[in-house]
Structure 1
């Protein structure tokens, strides 16, 4: 898929981190970009800085997502590119003991379900909405559109307390190939990136000693990934017409330890 001023793109989670870097990279290639994000202030600031359209959206809501796609299409036309970076998680062990009382605590099922709804269902909600729109487009160079998802290295080697997060990201990995097959007859490709430890706003807020210890666990290079490195891979997945149904780790060869 070519990336130029004739192509519209949507990036979810585009107000920060991996999504912001991807929106910037797409815009640098001339694409008409809309960013989806729940944070209205950050989204408006990034939109002004990058020259993109901001749509406030909650990926947990069908109505919110539908309205955001309508707004983005009114501004830029039907998108041919969707990059899903919206998501989040929590850190709760399946069961644990209270340090003071010794009482047993259980990971609340509703807290587990929330992470799956956000990362898995939220991603799928945007995929299906975008794919439906892409199906209305004419073929260009044999294809109508491209979708890139964000999973995590935790999908394969989640740490303690990451049962919900790992399950949600493993589900994104697991649905990539079936969706690629579902969309194959329509000329729409889909791939997924599994980032390792990246220098995102959440990670930047950690204490220096914690960041140094984490960076030391990466075999090479011994540092965090940078968001433009994620964006570079996302753009390659978009451009390369034979890249389809794949999930790729981007992690400096790290394999996460238990904790």
Structure 2
């Protein structure tokens, strides 16, 4: 599918994977509506409209979807919003915080489904393109869905849900000409990693078989554009991890 002349929604777009994806789609000629809780201090980007949105709130998401569809047909939705706090099931402070577990699942899984469903609803109204296609949704999981580490029970559960949702979502939406794919990144250079030492970052990179470095947000964005362009990839989860398999800790 051609990106140029479409509208796209990107969540988690104030930084990291979402910001890089929003820029890449805008550079390819899409009108991008970038969603995040807040955009304080985020520099404006040509072709990108910032809309403060809680992805777990269907009313706010529906409003953002409607705004995206006013500029051009909504054909693309990319879910990058997510949180990843760490906590053991039973730790020194006691049992895992139940509200924290629910919040991680709410943002990472329920938020992803909310955006997917409401974006697909809008896409289904659009004019058919070649072979009946109308749009594509790309979700973000994590290799933690497969190789969850100590302290990642909530995070791995939420991302495992995103992985499991991919195929049935693609099957559900096939009748509307909407593809659904998921990217499962490994360790990516995000603002969170910018706060740790170079020595720690080097240690993370050493665990990656090849290329022996951390992934870059721009590489995630490139994969997004490639999945959009490849009309026959559907219902697929693509690991972007340099062949990394995470150790227990």
CA–CA separation in structure 1 for the residues paired with 2:231 and 2:239: 19
The one of 53, 60, 65 aligned to 1:64: 60
Q: Which moved more, 1:168-177 or 1:88-97?
A: 88-97
Gaps of 5+ in 1: 99-104
**CA offset digits 1:50-85 (Å, max 9, x no partner):** 3311111011212221222223333x2331000110
Aligned pairs for 1:133-152 (under 5 A) are 133-142=122-131, 143-152=133-142
1:258 aligns with 2:248: yes
Q: 1:253 to 1:184 in 2, by over 3 A?
A: same
Gaps of 5+ in 2: none
Aligned pairs for 1:1-259 (under 5 A) are 1-4=1-4, 6-42=5-41, 45-46=42-43, 48-74=44-70, 76-97=71-92, 105-142=94-131, 143-259=133-249
CA–CA separation in structure 1 for the residues paired with 2:12 and 2:98: 25
SS of equivalent to 1:161? coil
How far 1:132 moved relative to its partner?
0.3
How far 1:3 moved relative to its partner?
1.2
Q: Which 4+ runs in 1 deviate beyond 3 A?
A: none
Return the TM-score normalized by structure 2.
Answer: 0.96
Q: CA RMSD in A?
A: 1.2
CA–CA separation in structure 1 for the residues paired with 2:196 and 2:168: 37
Count of aligned pairs between the two proteins: 248
SS of equivalent to 1:248? strand
CA–CA separation in structure 2 for the residues paired with 1:114 and 1:60: 10
Return the TM-score normalized by structure 1.
Answer: 0.93
Question: Which protein shows a greater Rg?
Answer: 1
